[in-house]
Structure formats: C-alpha cells, structure tokens
Structure 1
Amino acid sequence: MRINSFSDVSLRLLMVLCSLPEDELPTTRELAESVGTPYNHVSKAVLKLRQMGLVEALRGRSGGVRISSEGKQATVGKVLRILDDHGDVAQCQTDMGDCPMAHSCGLRGVLNHAREAFYVSLDEVTIYSLARTTTTGPVPVTLSTSRPD
C-alpha cells in the first residue's frame, strides 16, 4: 500500500508534536520547517488534524500547535482511514474508457480488502509510541561482505 502525500505530512506532524514537551507550542511555520514541507501544505494538514480533534491550535502571541489527548491515543490505522481518499486501489479506466472486465472482475474487491487489512495492521500502533521510540544521534552501520539471507 502507499499513502498519499497529505497523509504522510499529517502523520509526520503528529509524530513531531508527540515528541515535543507539553509546554512547547511550535507555530505552523516552525512545523513546516521541521517536517521539510511547504507552509501551505502544513497549514492545511494542521487544519484537518484540528477538525479531527487530534491537535489543538492556539492563537495569539504565545500560541501554536500541540497534540491533543485524543491525538496521543490515535492509531496510525485510524488516522489513515480518515485521511485516505478512498478511491479504488485498482484503476478501472484507461484512456480508451472503462475496463471491459469492470462488471465481472474480482480484483477491486480483493484489493480493497487488502487495503483494510493494511489499516487493521496499523490499528495496533499509536502515533505517540512511534514518536517516543525515535532516537537521535548517529545511526549504527554494519558492513558485511556476505549477502543477507
């Protein structure tokens, strides 16, 4: 499965917010810099996440964005289900029109079932747990001349 760029930005924002101390309120511009995404995309994602109840946006001089208590409990599967465009996984149209097998094809159903299985596997993973298990510092690298099994 592949998630769309809006979902990717939204998940990264949630992870960044989960990793911050509760008293730190980054602005949308600061969040855009931290996730390496243009400000306009981040502001749209913050708006959607606020509508979902996953973040709180405070206005004013000392305002900013923070993760909500619901956001700390949200699972990756739940967030992706809401943010997904819910289009068919298989493209059943070509430049020449509809697929001739569209009415008798079982591929769409199988692929939609696989998408739901993808979400179910992510229902056990909270975004908060992902953000809290990240480490900083050098990444250990092991070099080997043998091929992995």
Structure 2
Amino acid sequence: MKINAFADVSLRALMVLAAAPGATLLTTQNIADAVGTPYNHVSKAMARLRSLGLIEVERGRSGGSRLSSVGRRATVGQVLRDLDTRTDAADCVAPGGECPLIHECRLRVALARAREAFYRELDGVVVAELPGSRQMAPVFQLIGLRPGL
C-alpha cells in the first residue's frame, strides 16, 4: 500500500520534531528544510497535526512547534488513519461515471480490509521512536542545530 504525499510529509515532520532535543521549538521553515519539502506543503501538514493534537505551537518571535504528549505516543497506524481522507481504497469510477460493478462489490470490501490490516500492522510503531541520532545529526546540522543540543 502506498501512502499519499500529505501523510508522508506529516510523518517526516513528526519524526523531525520527535528527534529535536528537549524543549527545542522548530519553525515550520526549519522543518520544511529538514524534510526537503516546500514550506507551503509543510505548513498545511503542521496545521493538520496541530488540529489532531499531535503538536503544540508557540506563536511569536521565538515560537515554533514541538511534539505534544499525545504526539509522543502516536503510532504510525493511528496517524495514517487520521490523515487518510479517502473514503474508498479503490477509485470506483468508470468513464461514464460510477463503476457498474459497485453495488455489493466484494473487491471494495477486500481492499478496505487490506488497508485496515496495513494500518493495524503499523499500530505497534510509535512515530517518536523512529528517528535515530545518526540519522538526524546531519538533518539538524542542515537547519543550524547542533546535534548534541
């Protein structure tokens, strides 16, 4: 199963925030630079993560974002479920409109079960436990943070 670009950016932003030392606040621009994604995309992801209660935001000149306590416990499966806006695992459309096989379609049911199994497998993976110090050291250097901060 493939996740959408929005979920990918959101998970990468959460990983950067999880690896940030202590109470360090990171700006959206810092996170965009760290994950190599345009600011606008990261900004939308950060807004959604905030609405889900996964991050805390402090406004102002020295403001930024950090993982919330909920975000520190969030699993990849939970985050992907929250970010998945698709109502169907398949695009049940045909050139003339809705697929003629859609009524009582067992394929749609099987695909929905497979998607849930995918998420369930990721329910045991805590996002905050994913980033390692060797992985994040060059990322933090890129955005101007000392790795041992």
TM-score range, shorter chain: 0.7 to 0.9
Structure 1 CA distance, aligned partners of 2:91 and 2:121? 24
In the TM superposition, what is the alpha-carbon distance from 1:42 to its structure 2 partner?
A: 0.8
Q: Which amino acid aligns with 1:86?
A: R
Scaled by the length of structure 2, the TM-score of the pair is: 0.85
Scaled by the length of structure 1, the TM-score of the pair is: 0.85
Structure 1 CA distance, aligned partners of 2:136 and 2:22? 19
Structure 2 CA distance, aligned partners of 1:54 and 1:101? 40
**Percent identity over paired residues:** 54
Is 1:10–2:10 an aligned residue pair? yes
What does 1:60-71 correspond to in 2, within 5 Å?
A: 60-71=60-71
Q: Are the aligned partners of 2:74 and 2:126 in contact in 1 as well (CA < 8 Å)? A: yes
Match of residue 31 from structure 1 = 31
Structure 1 CA distance, aligned partners of 2:104 and 2:51? 39
Match of residue 141 from structure 1 = none
- Structure showing greater Rg: 1
More helix by share: 2
Gaps of 5+ in 2: 138-149
Q: Are the aligned partners of 2:19 and 2:133 in contact in 1 as well (CA < 8 Å)? A: no
Q: How many residues align?
A: 137
Match of residue 89 from structure 1 = 89
Matched position secondary structure for 2:111:
helix
Gaps of 5+ in 1: 138-149
What do you get for the CA RMSD once the two structures are aligned? 1.6
